[in-house]
Amino acid sequence: MASQPPKYPESVYDFTIKDANGNDVDLSIFKGKVLLIVNVASKCGLTNSNYTELNQLYEKYKDQGLEILAFPCNQFGEQEPGSNMRFKNLSALALNQNFLYLAS
């Protein structure tokens, strides 16, 4: 009997990722919503303006199903050093508490 080829994800909703607390998040919970997936870095020179604009965007469209998933990114000039919890705590000051903070 021939083996079945592996099943590859067909959409973002097929992934399970970790949040900043280390908990699994099944992205299928966001089906039917609009996702904005962003890399963020607290030491980037544009952090304040980017977070302000993300907050404005979220407030404007949250009732229409917008969800923002924020991933820390330390790949560009080491602008997001430290742990996932550090990122979550720093970002919570700048971003809306309703955003989902994910692990790097």
The pLDDT tens digits for 58-82 are 889 999 999 988 777 766 655 455 5
Taking the model in full, what pTM does it have?
Answer: 0.68
Is the pLDDT reported for residue 23 higher than 80?
Answer: yes
Q: Write down the pLDDT at residue 27.
A: 94
Alpha-carbon distance values, 40 to 4, 12, 79 (Å): 39, 19, 9
Confidence of residue 54 (pLDDT cuts 50, 70, 90): confident
Mean of the pLDDT values across residues 88-100? 55
Q: Write down the pLDDT at residue 29.
A: 94
Domain spans, the chain: 12-101
From CA 32, how far away is CA 12, in angstroms rounded? 12
Q: Say which residues have a Cβ less than 8 Å from residue 8's Cβ, sequence separation at least 6.
A: none
From CA 26, how far away is CA 16, in angstroms rounded? 4
Q: Which fold has domain 12-101?
A: Glutaredoxin (3.40.30)
Task: Tell me if 67 sits within 8 A of 35, measured CB to CB.
Answer: yes
Mean of the pLDDT values across residues 94-99? 55
Mean of the pLDDT values across residues 36-64? 78
Q: Say which residues have a Cβ less than 8 Å from residue 12's Cβ, sequence separation at least 6.
A: 27, 30, 35, 37
Residue with tokens 């604009």: 53
Amino acid at 74: N
Cross-strand partners of 38: 70
Active-site residues: which are they?
44
Is the pLDDT reported for residue 86 higher than 90?
Answer: no
